[in-house]
Structure 1
Amino acid sequence: MTFDTIKLDKGLYTSDKGFTSSLEAIDPSENYKGTELEGLDAYERQLKRFDIKVKGPKSDPISKFFQTSDSAVLFPEFITRSVATVVTSKNVVDELIATTTNVDSMDYRSVQCEAIEPDNAKQSFINEGTFIPETSITLKDRLTTLKKSGRSFVASYEAIKSQRLDLFSVTLKQIGNYINTCQLSQAVEVLAEIGTVDIYSIESKSISYKDFIDIYTALAPYEFNTVIAETDKFNSILSLDEFRDGAAGLNMHATGNIITPYGAKLIHCQTNLLHNDIVAFDKNYALEKVQLGNAVDVDYDKIIDRQLERATVTSTVGFNRIVDKAVLYLAETA
């Protein structure tokens, strides 16, 4: 069977593998090495089969997908890839998490690891026949809260069928941005959950360089490598004289990455969850992302049937703190 004789149907979306993986199983890319189709995946070969151009000023209208029943099956994957381009490659949450766990059920209970305190460092040397110190790893006492975020289409097929796919892809990426914003809010909410997280008091509304020194030492033995701040505190940090250092300025202008004087990544969030406080942490130990199903889920059946006004694009995730001591909450006291 060659790529231009494959029968496409909705069943490819119902597989646990997902659409592209199911298509790859039928039409492996390795069969095309040394041909003009090398470098394309199974989905991209189908676009070529039906001569559908999805990028550039000469991209086809949306109606091109619906010329045949087979080509219509490709449209939900186009939507998925357009949104996933933002969700999977431009999601600031990826700069906050230590690991991602994929699950197939809403009932997921993570583990929590007991921190190894600096005071216990002297006990790290073990003599023959002596007790080996223990680190407790236990199940959390509650299930992970998974939340769905996304958008539904409100335009009818008739209204958008003549629109170019390149332009439509831009509007879909906006949904990806919205999903990213929702996931950032979830992550911040879990990181800033008061209880077992240590609190450091900031005596004024403006954070000082001394505060950064104290944060650095307070997080030890964990690394101070990430800071999340809402707008006022974010502006306060950027106003520090140390940020006007030549090397820091060159890095900021060259890469767009905002790094604190201690090398910690500075993340801006627009939520009100922090109440103008700050969270500092070690991203290597602090947070687990739990992903239900695919990174992006699309109502493929409705979209194939052109019922766009009732179709949805969503993502369902949750977050867990792994090691509480790897997180420090900075609260304003004045």
Structure 2
Amino acid sequence: MAFYDTLKLEKGMYTAGKGFTRTLEELDPSANYEGTPLAGLDAYQRQLKRFDIRVGGTGSDPVEKFFQTSDSAALFPEYVSRAVRQGIERADLLPGIVATVTKINSMDYRTITSDPLPQDKELLPVAEGAEIPRTVVKTQENLVRLHKRGRMLVASYEALRFQKLDLFTVTLRQIGAYIARAQLDDAVNVLLDGDGNDNPAPATDVTGALSYQNMVSLWSALQPYELNTILASTPAVEDILNLKEFQDSAAGLDFQGTGRLATPLGAKLLHVPSLSGSRLIGLDKNCALEMVQAGDVLTDSDKLIDRQLERASISVIAGFAKIFAGACRAVSYTGE
């Protein structure tokens, strides 16, 4: 069994189809370190310790520390991927609206659907000898549209070599935040317009200002699904927070003290600045949307290892599909 400080690191670990960390884990399993000072670290973190590379904190090392040897240079693309992933996770609202995440190893994916009639959802008693009602599950007609979102890293090694990794991490996290916001826009577009399989969200147009009755109507119209998440544009968030029915003292203190938005009718309110106009979307996050990911955060590992940072790309490929079309409804109002 290979030990962490004797492993030979190379570029090929990024092209093995498993990912760098998973390849390391197979060569140097974390289970071997239980009860040792290295317990709690994954295989990549043990390699950082091996080369004494500090990527965070006041004592973080300069970027050039990764390039002290050819082995340590192989860790740099994984550092970039992890920093970008942290930025995605910090700015990511998708866990609040996605029911499941499907990871694929190709660019073609066709999801499944089941659209039972209202009477099929009631599960009425079945008489003796009678046929049990069926739930038909089938594949969608059209493929899920995958979008590549990312940034090109434009910088010379000479410009970055003496910069602290802690500062460089902040920049990479911001790239991740950009990607997260773009993916949220993709998800909202699928919720509103459908995923290409003739399944747009049913929409209600309201003339005038948003009222408490409109919120109750949204809650009742979503049945038998549960209204547990509301996506709202900036004007809609302001209008919801100004409804007197939601202006109780507890909600006000929570918003003023923590910044957490109110939970109208028990639903989690999420602010989506890119959502245009006075519009909100109500959904059941447990069964409305599927996220499809083709791989993880992708980097030009060869260029990063060879210090060719001038045109190194960082990208993510993902798409969204509706699971149950009826688990999402939209409301637009004039606000006048």
Q: Specify the TM-score bucket, using the shorter chain as the normaliser.
A: over 0.9
C-alpha separation in 2, matches of 1:121 and 1:182: 35
Report what 1:298 is aligned to.
Answer: 299
Contact 1:113 1:137 in 2 (8 A): yes
C-alpha separation in 2, matches of 1:208 and 1:111: 37
Report what 1:252 is aligned to.
Answer: 255
Contact 1:24 1:41 in 2 (8 A): yes
Report what 1:58 is aligned to.
Answer: 59
Counterparts of 1:282-297 in structure 2 under 5 Å? 282-294=284-296, 296-297=297-298
Report what 2:204 is aligned to.
Answer: 200
| Secondary structure, counterpart of 2:264 in structure 1 | coil
Counterparts of 1:246-285 in structure 2 under 5 Å? 246-253=249-256, 256-272=259-275, 274-285=276-287
Aligned-pair identity (%): 47
CA shift in 2, pair 1:269/1:121, >3 Å: closer
Alignment-mate amino acid for residue 31 of structure 1 = N
Report what 2:76 is aligned to.
Answer: 75
Contact 2:87 2:172 in 1 (8 A): no
Structure 2-normalised TM-score?
0.93
Number of residue pairs the alignment of both structures matches: 330
C-alpha separation in 2, matches of 1:121 and 1:48: 56
In the alignment, structure 2 segments of 5+ residues that lack a partner are none
Report what 2:85 is aligned to.
Answer: 84
CA shift in 2, pair 1:209/1:46, >3 Å: same
Alignment-mate amino acid for residue 156 of structure 2 = S
Please say if 1:124 is aligned against 2:124.
yes
Please say if 1:42 is aligned against 2:43.
yes
Contact 1:98 1:283 in 2 (8 A): yes
In the alignment, structure 1 segments of 5+ residues that lack a partner are none
CA shift in 2, pair 1:121/1:141, >3 Å: closer
Report what 1:16 is aligned to.
Answer: 17
Counterparts of 1:165-180 in structure 2 under 5 Å? 165-180=165-180
Report what 2:239 is aligned to.
Answer: 236
TM-superposed CA distance for 1:101, in Å, is 0.6
Q: Which moved more, 1:7-16 or 1:238-247?
A: 238-247
Alignment-mate amino acid for residue 6 of structure 1 = L
Contact 1:229 1:269 in 2 (8 A): yes
Contact 2:91 2:181 in 1 (8 A): no
Deviations 1:44-72 (A, max 9, x none): 11111111111111100000101111110
Contact 2:290 2:323 in 1 (8 A): yes
Alignment-mate amino acid for residue 283 of structure 1 = K
C-alpha separation in 2, matches of 1:309 and 1:262: 51
Root mean square deviation, CA, Å: 1.8
C-alpha separation in 2, matches of 1:124 and 1:255: 46
Report what 1:316 is aligned to.
Answer: 317
Report what 2:139 is aligned to.
Answer: 139
Runs of 4+ in 1 over 6 A off after TM superposition: none
Report what 1:218 is aligned to.
Answer: 221
Alignment-mate amino acid for residue 73 of structure 1 = A
CA shift in 2, pair 1:36/1:123, >3 Å: closer
Alignment-mate amino acid for residue 138 of structure 1 = K
TM-superposed CA distance for 1:153, in Å, is 0.8
C-alpha separation in 1, matches of 2:309 and 2:106: 27
TM-superposed CA distance for 1:4, in Å, is 1.1
C-alpha separation in 2, matches of 1:180 and 1:251: 26
TM-superposed CA distance for 1:41, in Å, is 1.2
C-alpha separation in 2, matches of 1:136 and 1:201: 32
Contact 2:90 2:177 in 1 (8 A): no
CA shift in 2, pair 1:68/1:262, >3 Å: same
C-alpha separation in 2, matches of 1:32 and 1:249: 49
| Secondary structure, counterpart of 1:262 in structure 2 | helix
C-alpha separation in 2, matches of 1:122 and 1:176: 44
Contact 1:115 1:325 in 2 (8 A): no
TM-superposed CA distance for 1:90, in Å, is 4.2
TM-superposed CA distance for 1:259, in Å, is 3.3
Counterparts of 1:20-35 in structure 2 under 5 Å? 20-35=21-36
Report what 1:155 is aligned to.
Answer: 155
CA shift in 2, pair 1:53/1:126, >3 Å: same
Contact 1:102 1:291 in 2 (8 A): yes
| Secondary structure, counterpart of 1:21 in structure 2 | helix
CA shift in 2, pair 1:102/1:121, >3 Å: closer
TM-superposed CA distance for 1:120, in Å, is 5.0
C-alpha separation in 2, matches of 1:84 and 1:302: 19
Alignment-mate amino acid for residue 313 of structure 2 = T
| Secondary structure, counterpart of 1:30 in structure 2 | helix
Deviations 1:235-284 (A, max 9, x none): 11121123321222344355543233211111111225x54322111111
Contact 1:59 1:166 in 2 (8 A): yes
